[in-house]
């Protein structure tokens, strides 16, 4: 019995073991099937989706180093991608999006006609690191106009209604017509440092030594004017040894890092006038300028007391400061809610404009020489010259007549110079010549005031608001310009010794003073004619208003919080393709200033920008900009690069962007997907961190940050 019992026990054990093995095998096989099903299920990658690494198929071939981003099923026609470069600190996830910026609002149909708006409950969440090293999660919106493509498109019909600066300027340079061969040609460039005498201060159009040597004369400072190389440089500007990230505004107004602008000559020559001093590792700015050694604010208030009608920050909003030195006058006008466009030449006063920009004060490198300044006519509320070393009375007053061109009728010219208050023989002679010239120009001498604290004086003149004085003159010198002379033509246009008549038609720009600031910012100019189609296809004043609302939504819903930008680190900003100045207007309450650039081949909207109390300049981005390297914290390019590819290659343009932007600075691009891809490839070759790209319906946005990388080798000297 014990034996029999043991045998049955063994059988039961054997049977139980076999049964367990069978269950184990079934479970194992089931788990395998489950694993295979999970790996192939559309919860990770839909079977019908196509995995892409860039915003377009053509770009994916050249972006092999980008992270692959999961796509939505083909059944959803509005495929969108949020893409990042392969950086551990930048993480993106893909889903449908509500908007990258805003709602359609009142944008013209032309701006959103090609866009399918995603459903309100569809969102994209993007996690990225901000400038302070923290992470930033949130709903990423779609494109401008609430659209998903987001860049308002110019109406083809509107182009017939607007002239361009290139068309207005008779002496506009012939542009290169060769087109880019596409992103494959650009991607992977081997960059080298520019082998030039100017070194870290290189400005290609102002440091063209070959062109300067060929000049027949430098009598009118032709050697300080723009002479651009035929081909834009494909090299990078070195960084000064010891360079540091700039000091933030407003502390930067008083001191900057010495090694960022390592020039001491101005401190040696002008230190006793409190322009600039070397203080340890800093350059400090204790006073302001020759005429206000005890500080600019006292001087600014002195001018206000001299002529109450100046009304800083109300009637007077946009100022031109000629021969600005280190631009302390413009720097302290911010305290009075005034914008000053300051300029000075790149000359023996080492890097004075570079000092200004490093301080966070607007300035450009320019000279009053043989050509018109790159501004429209009748746009500045006040023009200022404090010991600016310009011979206004010489050669029939040609240079003063150029100021007359850009000054508004009824605007003021402030001349604070030794001929006003000193009695040296030379000063007396200059005063007599200036008195005769200004009287013949019908400028009213409003007052001459003495500032006892600074021991200086200022003569303040006012431009006429009618043609009565011109018509009464016995001596017709300076002469009136011919009727067909376009006062707005300013791109490489030679100066003329003549005056343009004051507009008399009530509907013409210049017959009325703009609204007081800040009302003028959002008020369509009175001279905008609604019978003229706006840039985006609506009547002009409606187009203006819709553009302003559009950019307020873009800035508030995207730029201020969704791009990971710490705006406390941003001061100097450039809108590389401003239209009505809507982007700058939307940034009004941020402690920045925006240089609005109107391209010479675009509709000439720069007078509108000035009318609303902002400022800007004409430029052709197929050439270098007149600024020092490392002078801007952020560049904004709205539909710029796709237009440029029709006239010049993007390689030199992106090299120029790299030259202008400071290490750590930002670039925001909104454009066609094709252009976004090409820009992205170039930025990667420049070792920029591409923090975000996003594309839908052949439109896209890119956000990138410049690093500290510089090549180790120099280009061959040409």
pLDDT at residue 16 greater than cutoff 60: no
Taking the C-alpha atoms of residue 308 and residue 316, their distance in angstroms, rounded to an integer, is 11
pLDDT beyond 50 at 706 = yes
Residue 615 CA to its chain's centroid (Å): 11
The per-residue pLDDT for range 359-373, each reduced to its tens digit, is: 999 999 999 999 999
Confidence at residue 119, expressed as pLDDT on a 0 to 100 scale? 33
Q: Note the pLDDT of residue 173.
A: 39
User: Measuring CA to CA, which residue among 505, 407, 503, 497 is closest to residue 461?
Assistant: 407
- Provide the pLDDT for residue 54: 37
DSSP tag of 292: B
Cis peptide bond prior to 333, omega within 30° of 0:
no
pLDDT at 130: 52
pLDDT at 264: 84
pLDDT of the residue at 272 = 64
Q: Are 332 and 296 within 8 A, CB to CB?
A: yes
Residues 227-241 have pLDDT tens digits of 999 999 999 999 999
Decide the pairing of beta strands 632-638 and 661-672.
Answer: parallel
How would residue 43 be classed by pLDDT, with cut points 50, 70 and 90?
A: very low
**Average pLDDT over every residue of 301-322:** 98
CA 495 – CA 563 distance, rounded (Å): 45
Q: DSSP secondary-structure letter at 519?
A: H
**Predicted pLDDT of residue 554:** 96
Average pLDDT over residues 422-450: 97
For residue 472, what pLDDT band results from cuts at 50, 70 and 90?
very high
Of the pLDDT bands very low, low, confident and very high (cuts 50, 70, 90), residue 450 is: very high
- In the block, tokens 């050694």 appear at 293
DSSP per-residue letters across 83-96: E-BS-TTEEE----
Average pLDDT over residues 73-90: 35
Residue 139 has pLDDT above 80, yes or no: no
pLDDT at 673 over 80: yes
Cα separation of 15 and 397, whole Å?
Answer: 116
pLDDT in tens, 536-592: 999 999 999 999 999 999 999 999 999 999 999 999 999 999 999 999 999 999 999
In the structure, what pLDDT confidence band is assigned to residue 32 with cuts at 50, 70 and 90? low
Better-predicted residue by pLDDT, 392 or 151? 392
- Give the pLDDT confidence of 403-426 residue by residue, as tens digits: 999 999 999 999 999 999 999 999
Look up tokens 């430029």; give the residue.
619
Q: What is the pLDDT of residue 371?
A: 97
Burial group, residue 385, by CB count within 10 angstroms (0-12, 13-18, 19+): buried
Residues 6+ apart with CB under 8 A from 687: 707, 709
What mean pLDDT comes out for the span 654-683? 97
Q: How far is the C-alpha of 514 from the C-alpha of 326, rounded, in Å?
A: 29
CB atoms within 10 A of CB 478: 21
What local confidence, expressed as pLDDT, does residue 156 receive? Answer: 61
Which of these ranges, 114-123, 217-226, 431-440, 606-615, has the smallest mean pLDDT? 114-123
pLDDT of residue 35: 54
Q: For residues 386 and 409, what is the distance between their CA atoms, to the nearest angstrom?
A: 22
Residue 22's pLDDT is 53
What is residue 716's predicted lDDT score, i.e. its pLDDT?
A: 87
Per DSSP, the three-state class of 630 is coil
Tokens 């308002």 found at: 152
185-246+516-717 and 294-359+379-502 have identical folds: yes
Q: Which helix (H) or strand (E) holds 318?
A: strand 318-322
User: Nearest-CA neighbor of 410 among 514, 506, 481?
Assistant: 514
Where are the chain's structural domains? 185-246+516-717, 294-359+379-502
CATH for the stretch 185-246+516-717: 3.40.50.150
User: In whole numbers, what is the pLDDT of the chain averaged over residues?
Assistant: 81
Q: Residue 604 pLDDT > 70, yes or no?
A: yes
Q: What is the CATH number that goes with domain 294-359+379-502?
A: 3.40.50.150
Helices (H), 289-333: 296-306, 328-333
Q: Give CA–CA dist 599/621, Å, rounded.
A: 7
**For the residues 442-460, what does the mean pLDDT come to?**
96
Residue 449 has pLDDT above 70, yes or no: yes
Percent of the chain at pLDDT exceeding 90: 66
The answer on pLDDT for 698 being more than 60 is yes
pLDDT for position 31: 60
49 pLDDT higher than 60: no
**Stretch 123-151: mean pLDDT, rounded?**
42
8 Å CB contact between 492 and 174: no
User: Which region among 23-27, 52-56, 465-469, 509-513 has the lowest average model confidence (pLDDT)?
Assistant: 52-56
């Amino acid at each position: 019995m014990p034996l029999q019992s043991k045998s049955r026990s063994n059988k039961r054990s054997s049977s139980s073991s076999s049964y367990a093995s069978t269950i184990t095998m079934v479970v194992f096989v089931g788990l395998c099937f489950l694993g295979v099903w999970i790996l192939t299920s559309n919860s990770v990658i839909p079977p019908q989706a196509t995995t892409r690494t860039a915003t377009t198929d053509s770009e994916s071939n050249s972006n092999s180093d980008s992270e692959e981003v999961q796509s939505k099923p083909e059944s959803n026609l509005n495929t969108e991608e949020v893409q990042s470069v392969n950086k551990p600190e930048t993480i993106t996830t893909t889903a449908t999006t509500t908007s990258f910026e805003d709602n359609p609002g009142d944008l013209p149909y032309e701006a959103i006609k090609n866009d399918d708006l995603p459903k309100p409950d569809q969102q994209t969440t993007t996690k990225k690191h901000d400038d302070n090293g923290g992470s930033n999660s949130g709903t990423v919106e779609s494109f401008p106009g609430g659209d998903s493509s987001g860049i308002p498109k110019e109406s083809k019909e509107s182009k017939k209604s607007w002239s361009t600066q290139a068309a207005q300027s008779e002496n506009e340079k012939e542009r290169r017509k060769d087109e880019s061969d596409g992103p494959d040609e650009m991607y992977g460039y081997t960059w080298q440092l520019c082998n030039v005498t100017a070194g870290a201060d290189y400005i290609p159009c102002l440091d063209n030594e070959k062109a300067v040597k060929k000049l027949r004369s430098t009598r009118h400072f032709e050697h300080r004017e723009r002479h651009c190389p035929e081909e834009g440089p494909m090299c990078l500007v070195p960084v000064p040894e010891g360079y540091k990230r700039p000091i933030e505004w407003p502390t930067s107004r008083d001191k900057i890092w010495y090694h960022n602008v390592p020039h001491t000559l101005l401190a040696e020559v002008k230190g006793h006038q409190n322009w600039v001093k070397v203080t340890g590792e800093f350059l400090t700015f204790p006073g302001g300028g020759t005429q206000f050694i005890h500080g600019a604010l006292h001087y600014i208030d002195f001018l206000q007391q001299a002529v109450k009608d100046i009304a800083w920050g109300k009637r007077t909003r946009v100022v031109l400061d000629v021969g600005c030195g280190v631009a302390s006058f413009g720097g302290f006008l911010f305290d009075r809610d005034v914008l000053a466009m300051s300029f000075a030449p790149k000359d023996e006063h080492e890097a004075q404009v570079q000092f200004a920009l490093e301080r966070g004060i607007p300035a450009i490198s320019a000279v009053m020489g043989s050509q018109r300044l790159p501004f429209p006519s009748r746009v500045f509320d006040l023009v200022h010259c404090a010991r600016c070393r310009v011979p206004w009375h010489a050669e029939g007053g040609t240079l003063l007549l150029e100021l007359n061109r850009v000054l508004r009728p009824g605007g003021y010219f402030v001349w604070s110079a030794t001929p006003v208050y000193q009695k040296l023989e030379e000063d007396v002679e200059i005063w007599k010549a200036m008195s005769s010239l200004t009287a013949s120009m019908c400028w009213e001498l409003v007052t001459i005031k003495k500032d006892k604290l600074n021991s200086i004086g200022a003569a303040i003149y006012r431009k006429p608001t009618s043609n009565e004085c011109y018509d009464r003159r016995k001596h017709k010198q300076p002469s009136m310009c011919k009727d067909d002379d376009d006062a707005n033509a300013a791109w490489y246009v030679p100066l003329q010794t003549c005056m343009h008549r004051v507009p008399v038609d009530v509907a013409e720009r210049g017959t009325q003073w703009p609204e007081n600031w800040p009302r003028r910012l959002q008020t369509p100019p009175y001279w905008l004619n609604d019978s003229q189609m706006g840039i985006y296809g609506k009547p002009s004043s409606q187009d203006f208003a819709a553009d302003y609302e559009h950019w307020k939504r873009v800035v508030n819903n995207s730029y201020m919080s969704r791009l990971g930008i710490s705006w406390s680190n941003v001061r100097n900003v450039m809108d590389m393709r401003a239209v009505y100045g809507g982007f700058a207007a939307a940034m009004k309450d941020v402690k920045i200033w925006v240089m609005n650039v109107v391209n010479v081949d675009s509709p000439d909207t720069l007078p509108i920008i000035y009318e609303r109390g902002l400022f800007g300049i004409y430029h052709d981005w197929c050439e270098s900009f007149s600024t020092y390297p490392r002078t801007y914290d952020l560049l904004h390019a709205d539909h710029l690069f796709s237009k440029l590819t029709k006239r010049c290659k993007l390689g030199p343009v992106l090299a120029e962007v790299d030259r202008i932007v400071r290490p750590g600075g930002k670039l925001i691009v909104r454009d066609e997907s094709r252009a976004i891809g090409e820009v992205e490839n170039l930025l990667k070759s420049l070792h920029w961190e591409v923090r975000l790209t996003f594309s839908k319906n052949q439109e896209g946005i890119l956000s990138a940050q410049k690093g500290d990388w510089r090549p180790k080798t120099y280009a061959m000297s040409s």
